[in-house]
Structure 1
Amino acid sequence: MTRLFNDPAAFADEALEGFTAAHRRWVRPVTGGVVRATATPAGQVAVVIGGGSGHYPAFSGLVGRGLAHGAAVGNVFASPSARQIHSVATAAHGGGGVLLMYGNYAGDVLHFGQAAERLAADGIETRAFAVADDISSAGPDESAKRRGIAGDLPVFKAAAAAAEQGLPLEDVLRVAERAGARTRSFGIAFSGCTLPGADHPLFTVPEARMAVGLGIHGEPGIGEEALPTADEAALLLVETLLKELPDDVADPAGRRAAVILNGLGSVKYEELFVVYRKVAALLGDAGVEIVDPEVGELVTSFDMAGISLTLTWLDDRLEELWRAPADTPAYRKGALGDPEPDRDRAAATAAGQDTAAAQDTAVSDAAASGTTAVPVASDASRRAAGAVLAALDAVARVVDAHAGELGRIDAVAGDGDHGIGMRRGSSAAHRAAHDAHRVGAGAGTVLTRAADDWADKAGGTSGALWGTILRSLGTSLGDRDAPDAARVAEGVTEASAAVRRLGGAEVGDKTMVDVLVPFADALAAATAEGMPLAEAWDRAATTATAAAAGTADLLPRRGRARPHAEKSLGTPDAGAHSLALITRAVHGALLDHH
């Protein structure tokens, strides 16, 4: 288990701080993550990768020449927010455009997609690519739904090497697509991982058994089998991957492949070598020529005891890119010449202060302390902002009280971090709302400031969606008028529509949408009847509670629980349950503030 930490909520930030202090030769910190210590060469495509903490050396350890230009780093097992990704990409951009790369998880897809839109609005040409290599998470006919696991590395490496050669953005993207289409991974585990501050792992494996087809966020495997010997484990991994070849690889015989045997956190290197000797023999028997194999910890999951095997089927071009040199804190290959000096940054670093990082920190600190200017608001809107602040305080308190329960519900078929993420997001939103209210912001601004900080601190799918909910409400309420019941209902309706547009879920998919839609509909109907807001909200919250309970009978069709759908029967969706709790808590705040 993870034993060395201070405040679990600060673990990811403190880990990143220590990482940058240890690796200043390669990286410098910026808001949201790290970028190369040397500037991106003018006109070169910047490859920006990212994902949650807990997977080192992914993602920050892969920043350096020959690999990524920057990495956006989220909280533990949670995607970085769009604002963090935007910050890192802006710092990494060298004038040749940006390619955003990440594992194929709902939260990452949402946040990186939003970041791409913001970068494009800034005039930075941007493309995005999600790695989807885990064959256990979806069948060949649904390969776009697969998770990204250790196959991240060869796909990132191919794209970054192409960028290093000076290729334009569209060509770098095509390389990523080619590498992604030829990469497959499969994993097994013998125990789950334990998050900082938790007293039990996210999943357990019975004695003398192993989980097959696991994820890297503490998701349980899709099945269990008897505990194998090292040679039996190698046989399972190789045979499984050889059963599914890329469309243009009819027969493995005579083919070349990049091979990665990845340790997920607790399997020691000697054990990996014992397994790899058999992997190499089996691939050799199949006629596969192994090119520059990697054996070690490359994409981890805290202390998970498990391994995965990745095969990237190479052609001449992909082999050239796989063999290309790279120099990062955690991955080095070949030899690179000395980088061009970045004299301004070197001088700042020698003086003990990175200028760019200091500017980023100053901006963040100003926003966090509420010292940034706020739009002019009417007296009525400022009074309404007091009610918004009380509601967000109630949200933070109810989430904190139920965080453990939400984590247990989420762990049934997911990764178990919903309670942690909701606690981080709701508490950050309340702090941001308090700071904005203190300097005279109106209701709309209080909500939009809270939205940004919820998305930043929570990350993941829930962070993106709750940021969208609060921002939709803030846009509807504005800063000019005193919001009435109809205006609030209109904002909730727009939030419901925005969440469905952004996340793609509909009623019946076993997500928070199963509660948000009936809640919004009930609130709109009650206010249309002329009910006061508190009374209308009470009726809608009762509807939300019933809808959340009803999700226990549904099979998930989206998110990390989808590969383990049957396990979730009988358990409500964690996001739906947390939303129902929140609607009831807000009703209490409305009564108190009436």
Structure 2
Amino acid sequence: MSYVLNDPADFADESAAGFVAAHRTLVRRVTGGVARATATPAGQVAVVIGGGSGHYPAFAGLVGAGLAHAAAMGNVFASPSAQQIYSAAKSVATDAGVLFTYGNYAGDVLNFDQAEKRLNDEGIPCHTVRVTDDIYSASPAEHTKRRGIAGDLAVFRAAAWAAEQGMSLDEVVEFTSRANSRVRSLGVAFSGCTLPGASGPLFTVPAGQMAVGMGIHGEPGIDVVPLPTANEIAARLVAGLLEEVPHDISPAGARAAVIVNGLGAVKSEELFIIYAGVEKLLTDAGITVVEPEVGEYATSFEMAGISLTLFWLDDQFEEAWSSPSYTPAYRKGVVAPTSKTPESIRESTSSELPEAIPAASAESAAAGPIAQAVIAAIRDMIERDADELGRLDAIAGDGDHGIGMQRGTRAAAAAADLAVAGGAGTGTVLIRAGDAWADKAGGTSGALWGAALRAAGERIGDERAPSASDVSDAVTAACASIKSYGKAEVGDKTMVDALVPFAETLVSQVTAGESLSAAWTVAASEATRAADATTDMLPRMGRARPHMEKSLGTPDPGAISLARAMTVAGHVLAITTKN
């Protein structure tokens, strides 16, 4: 658990502030995260990494010469928002472009992809390489679905080295992708971890047992086995990785970088015992170990666990792995000094000035408070149910759904209040609320709710008071946006399982001539039925997918929160609408 905190909601921001204060000669605070204290050399591709907080030294601690140019920093175990990623990238981008590289988690993918599109639309070339080193998170046949854990370090090192050699963006992407294809990791855990302010761990491991295949967001292991000796742990990790050697590598005579990573509570002395066993087994297999790293590189708060990473080297990858680096948390060799970032932009932490509120018709502005009241009702419901939603999410996920929804709905409600106070039309109220939700919540749910509200707002617009038909069309647009961004379909055990029946029922009821309030009530009831029905489903997407059996018998938290949100929204509409 976290012993040192003020308000749990401020944990990530306060930690980031202290981190920058402690390392001002190496990093600077920028909107959305941190960046090198030195300027990106002209013509050099900027490598931007990122992810949720709670994994130090990933990600902020790996910003510096020989590693990343910037890191976008999300809340605890939640991806940074698209706005945070975009802002962090803009702070270091050059004409040569930007490479995004990060662990392959659904929320990160959604938000980094949106930021990538925005950069490209602005004429800043940007591409992505996702780290997929965790062999237990998906089968070899589905390797693109694998998540990233401590192998991040090897891939980030390769990307940074390629950038600093002056390679073009396409060349950096190709080199980094090849590096990722040669990295494999496997982890074990002896206990779970607890989010700041939470009353209990995300998962537990029975005394005398060990979980195999856990994730760094508190995802429980796939298998639970009796706790072995250190040498037996080393043997299990090595054997698992040697069963997954890249097809173009012959272990005998190969050279490999090795990372023995502590997940938070395992002491260095214990890690060295594991490494001794690992090195002997690899040497016996004819593999030469190159510059091993033993320590903490991707943690999960106080989780007691270990992961082993092998990075299969060729001449270039070995040069990249052995090259100098100097960051707050990772230092190797000697790095030549470079020019400082101009003082005028060193502390660029303030957000852009808010856009002026677009002109709206009197009818649309008069309807804006209804949208405001709906969002406030959703916020109040989440405040009440956040702990329950977190517990549902912790069964097979990372347990942060309630916290993320809290952050998102609070920000959305505040943005809606400001928009209404400024005379905004209904569409703008929804758009401002959605953008704030996505920015402050981060994660998968933040990105999806933000996209949905923006799509709904754009469809409704600010020209007139929305009719029942306008609202049903807006809900259809929101549904399409979520399906487009999230790639989920009905049956995947996600929020889509509740959203699609809600949208279809609402359209059907409105088309049949029902009032908006009556149609919404029927649709919300159908969403609740569909959300409850996810209890008997197996997840096919997201972090719960590798633990699908564990989630059987528990409804999807995203579907439940959506159904409850639609229900309380219906209560508001019953009071405030007449059509």
TM-score after normalising by structure 1: 0.96
Give me the whole-angstrom Cα distance separating, in 1, the residues matched to 2:183 and 2:540.
Answer: 25
Equivalent AA in structure 1 for residue 427 of structure 2: G
Task: Report the equivalent of 1:374.
Answer: 357
Give me the whole-angstrom Cα distance separating, in 1, the residues matched to 2:378 and 2:247.
Answer: 50
Give me the whole-angstrom Cα distance separating, in 2, the residues matched to 1:449 and 1:35.
Answer: 28
Give me the whole-angstrom Cα distance separating, in 2, the residues matched to 1:485 and 1:127.
Answer: 42
Equivalent AA in structure 2 for residue 254 of structure 1: G
Contact 2:434 2:450 in 1 (8 A): yes
Give me the whole-angstrom Cα distance separating, in 2, the residues matched to 1:524 and 1:201.
Answer: 42
Q: Offset of 1:341 from its aligned partner?
A: 4.2
Q: Offset of 1:362 from its aligned partner?
A: 5.4
Contact 2:31 2:351 in 1 (8 A): no
Task: Report the equivalent of 1:517.
Answer: 500
Contact 1:183 1:310 in 2 (8 A): yes
TM alignment of 1:169-184, pairs within 5 A: 169-184=169-184
Task: Report the equivalent of 1:466.
Answer: 449
Contact 1:106 1:461 in 2 (8 A): yes
My pick for the range that moved more, 410-419 or 296-305, is: 410-419
Give me the whole-angstrom Cα distance separating, in 2, the residues matched to 1:79 and 1:341.
Answer: 29
Give me the whole-angstrom Cα distance separating, in 2, the residues matched to 1:243 and 1:102.
Answer: 25
2:56 aligned with 1:66, yes or no? no
Task: Report the equivalent of 1:455.
Answer: 438
Secondary structure at the aligned position of 2:396 is classed as coil
Give me the whole-angstrom Cα distance separating, in 2, the residues matched to 1:572 and 1:24.
Answer: 46
Secondary structure at the aligned position of 1:35 is classed as strand
TM alignment of 1:81-100, pairs within 5 A: 81-100=81-100
Equivalent AA in structure 2 for residue 76 of structure 1: V
Contact 1:39 1:94 in 2 (8 A): no
Could you tell me which runs of 5 or more consecutive residues in structure 2 were left unpaired when the two chains were aligned: none
Give me the whole-angstrom Cα distance separating, in 2, the residues matched to 1:41 and 1:20.
Answer: 22
Equivalent AA in structure 1 for residue 274 of structure 2: V
Contact 2:37 2:346 in 1 (8 A): no
My pick for the range that moved more, 294-303 or 411-420, is: 411-420
Contact 1:32 1:84 in 2 (8 A): yes
Task: Report the equivalent of 1:33.
Answer: 33
Q: Deviations over 1:511-530 (max 9, x none)?
A: 01101111000000111111
Give me the whole-angstrom Cα distance separating, in 2, the residues matched to 1:294 and 1:157.
Answer: 13
Contact 2:190 2:304 in 1 (8 A): yes
Task: Report the equivalent of 1:351.
Answer: none
Contact 2:419 2:432 in 1 (8 A): yes
> For 1:357, which of 343, 347, 355 is the aligned residue?
347
Give me the whole-angstrom Cα distance separating, in 2, the residues matched to 1:291 and 1:544.
Answer: 55
> For 1:397, which of 376, 380, 383 is the aligned residue?
380
Q: Deviations over 1:169-215 (max 9, x none)?
A: 01100111111000000000010000100110000000100111000
Q: Offset of 1:592 from its aligned partner?
A: 2.5
Give me the whole-angstrom Cα distance separating, in 2, the residues matched to 1:421 and 1:518.
Answer: 24
Identity of aligned residues (%): 59
Q: Offset of 1:435 from its aligned partner?
A: 1.1
Task: Report the equivalent of 1:281.
Answer: 280
Equivalent AA in structure 1 for residue 27 of structure 2: V
Contact 2:253 2:287 in 1 (8 A): yes
Give me the whole-angstrom Cα distance separating, in 1, the residues matched to 2:160 and 2:351.
Answer: 31
> For 1:475, which of 452, 458, 468 is the aligned residue?
458
Task: Report the equivalent of 1:217.
Answer: 217
2:19 aligned with 1:7, yes or no? no
Contact 1:381 1:442 in 2 (8 A): yes
Give me the whole-angstrom Cα distance separating, in 1, the residues matched to 2:76 and 2:148.
Answer: 16
Give me the whole-angstrom Cα distance separating, in 2, the residues matched to 1:335 and 1:16.
Answer: 27
Q: Offset of 1:107 from its aligned partner?
A: 0.6
Q: Deviations over 1:118-165 (max 9, x none)?
A: 000110011011100000011111111101000000001101111011
Give me the whole-angstrom Cα distance separating, in 1, the residues matched to 2:71 and 2:336.
Answer: 23
Contact 1:390 1:593 in 2 (8 A): no
Q: Offset of 1:436 from its aligned partner?
A: 1.2
Task: Report the equivalent of 2:269.
Answer: 270
Secondary structure at the aligned position of 1:361 is classed as coil
Equivalent AA in structure 2 for residue 455 of structure 1: A
Secondary structure at the aligned position of 1:101 is classed as strand
Q: Deviations over 1:14-69 (max 9, x none)?
A: 11111111111111111100111111000100000000000000001111111100
Task: Report the equivalent of 1:536.
Answer: 519
Task: Report the equivalent of 1:327.
Answer: 326
Secondary structure at the aligned position of 2:10 is classed as helix
Q: Offset of 1:232 from its aligned partner?
A: 1.1
Equivalent AA in structure 1 for residue 393 of structure 2: D
Contact 1:212 1:222 in 2 (8 A): yes
Cα RMSD over matched residues?
A: 1.0
Task: Report the equivalent of 1:47.
Answer: 47
Give me the whole-angstrom Cα distance separating, in 2, the residues matched to 1:341 and 1:487.
Answer: 53
Cα 1:520–1:341 shift into 2, 3 Å? closer
The runs of 4+ residues in structure 1 deviating greater than 2 Å are 355-358
Task: Report the equivalent of 2:468.
Answer: 485
Contact 1:444 1:474 in 2 (8 A): yes
Equivalent AA in structure 2 for residue 301 of structure 1: S
Contact 1:63 1:328 in 2 (8 A): yes
Task: Report the equivalent of 1:188.
Answer: 188
Equivalent AA in structure 1 for residue 87 of structure 2: S
Give me the whole-angstrom Cα distance separating, in 2, the residues matched to 1:454 and 1:299.
Answer: 28
Secondary structure at the aligned position of 2:204 is classed as coil
Contact 2:189 2:210 in 1 (8 A): yes
2:286 aligned with 1:297, yes or no? no
Q: Offset of 1:103 from its aligned partner?
A: 0.4
TM-score after normalising by structure 2: 0.98
Give me the whole-angstrom Cα distance separating, in 1, the residues matched to 2:450 and 2:571.
Answer: 22
Q: Offset of 1:357 from its aligned partner?
A: 2.8
Give me the whole-angstrom Cα distance separating, in 1, the residues matched to 2:532 and 2:479.
Answer: 19
Contact 2:260 2:295 in 1 (8 A): yes
Contact 1:101 1:130 in 2 (8 A): yes
Give me the whole-angstrom Cα distance separating, in 2, the residues matched to 1:191 and 1:302.
Answer: 11
Cα 1:362–1:154 shift into 2, 3 Å? closer
Give me the whole-angstrom Cα distance separating, in 1, the residues matched to 2:199 and 2:392.
Answer: 16
Secondary structure at the aligned position of 2:143 is classed as helix
Equivalent AA in structure 2 for residue 163 of structure 1: A
Q: Offset of 1:356 from its aligned partner?
A: 4.8
Secondary structure at the aligned position of 2:44 is classed as coil
Q: Offset of 1:593 from its aligned partner?
A: 2.0
Give me the whole-angstrom Cα distance separating, in 2, the residues matched to 1:19 and 1:53.
Answer: 12
Give me the whole-angstrom Cα distance separating, in 1, the residues matched to 2:521 and 2:59.
Answer: 45
Give me the whole-angstrom Cα distance separating, in 1, the residues matched to 2:435 and 2:40.
Answer: 28
Task: Report the equivalent of 2:338.
Answer: 339
Equivalent AA in structure 1 for residue 305 of structure 2: G
